[in-house]
Chain A
Amino acid sequence: MNDTSAKNFSEPPGYEAAKEENPRHTPSHDDGLNNESNEADRVSGEFFREVNAVMTIALRDLTKLFRDRPRLVAGLIFPIIFIGVLGGGLNASFGKVLDYDFLTFVFTGVLAQTMFTSTASGVISLVQDRENDFSRELFVAPISRYTIVIGKIAGESLVSLWQAIGVMVFGLIIGVPLTVILVLKLLPILLIISFLGGAFGILVLANLGSQRTANQIFPFLIFPQFFLAGVFNPITALPLYLSLPSKLVPLTYAVDFLRSIYFRGSPAYEEIVLFSPVADFVVIAVVSLIFLVAGTYLFARSERNR
């Protein structure tokens, strides 16, 4: 690096020897901590690095899901009870007075609800245990807080998708009309809904601080939405005092969005769907963005500002 003669004057004796021991300057030790040889391999560019981190965080959730066999099954129990028992039971008693298939109505509602709820509660696990969890490894990494949150939402969306597949298989078994084309059409809708759920989850977490309080409060925030959003009950003709809160809860638009795609072209569309798919999408996009930005900001602040 230096001219030899100059080096002799500019560096005190022993400096060269010290440098030899220091692999930061001379990569001579092959001990696995040396990255010099992999410099070309480093992820370059700020943006790509964040994307790399999002993938890393998301895939971790999926890996964990497939390693946790009880969870693989447990995720399917509630939706199946909702559709099978509630949908099937109600269909048998009230189905005759309706112009459409009530089972399909409940199926579409539960499918949307599953994506929303599962992703929301998954995101809440971001601080599973402040003191004893991998989350600290995430928070100390040199990545944006949005990257952590989006990575987590993406991961939990993939987990929810597994549940959605299970729900659809169950739907097919009990006779819900589903075609491959329809499933492919529903797939992006399901992911959009889970993004909304994830953004909702981060906002809940940011405001409730710990996972424990979040877990206690979460049912109170989610169950009323089931009924206001019309997961199991038609909401086309609600009295004003119910129709107003019904329009305020985010799940309403998620459920309506999915049904607007599912029932498209069917005679039941007019009876079931409230808004146009475009309107639903715009509401979902705007609300998700607000939840995500506010939630991430508040969450990052509550984590560090103790």
Chain B
Amino acid sequence: MTTALAEMPTEIGPEQHSSNIVETDNLTKWFDVGLGLFRGSLHLKAVDGVTLTIKRAETVAIVGESGSGKTTLGRTIIRLLEPTGGKLLYDGQDITHSAEKRLMWLRRKAQMIPQDPYSSVNPAFPVYRILEEPLVIHKQGESKEREEAVMKALQAVKLNPPTFFANKYPHMLSGGQRQRVAIARSLILNPEFILADEPVSMLDASVRISILRLLRQIQQQFGIAFLYITHDLATAKHFADRIGIMYAGRLVEEGPVGSVLGEPLHPYAQALMGAIPDPDPANRLVVRQSLPGEPPNLVDLPTGCHFHPRCPIAQMGLCDVKDPELRELRPGHRVACHLAT
């Protein structure tokens, strides 16, 4: 293992710094679901050609319903999954098919914050050990320095006083506090990029905002890029710089938050926005516009635009035949729809 590492650059030198932390080009991730005779011929196309760029120190939100492929996209980007096709660059370096043992540097620079506060941290370890683990694995520092790092991380996530929380076990903490521990763990290796997969969806409304604010603050303080995966457009609006909307494995619209939510161009994005109520007593008097049907079966996707069977403006002969490309229709605002202008 050491010899293999010696052959490879374990660090990316400063000269390699790219302004884009993550770049994907037509990234696909298919899962083989065929059994017996169909082995190798049936695929669940969780991610089906996503081209996305995440710049340094920005937050990109990926919004989609369950089964849209947003979680798989996140996992593929930090190489917990190997892409089936396309290209994946991290800081300018191609990691599409790198072997796990050659990715130790990525494991230091890219971290993740899981969703469920009840399983996001190891329940058998005290907080101190949870936070020390990544440092031990990456052989960073002596125990004294590691202790300092742990205390600093706890302070960064506002678990004060840190010595009080360091000895607690997760079951002694509230859901919000556990998510703070998970965030502290993601910070401990000074990463450049953090994948936050629905980090607040299981928390109470009053706690949710404090965690999102903390993430925002951390991003600004440490200059970390975030990929925020969520089903909740409203939090994405308030906590992301750019927003990407996924439908059936594809990015259908992507751009700056103001532009995308101010003027959604894709019919799906428009429907999604229309479906989410803000608290307003007038809501009860109207019937909300919605889409008919269900998202498509990912094993047997519609031809052309994946959205066309549910689309209110689909044109037969075009939308059901031709895959729509992401086109930049507004500054930095791309849409994958033949009919959007």
Q: Do A and B bind each other?
A: no
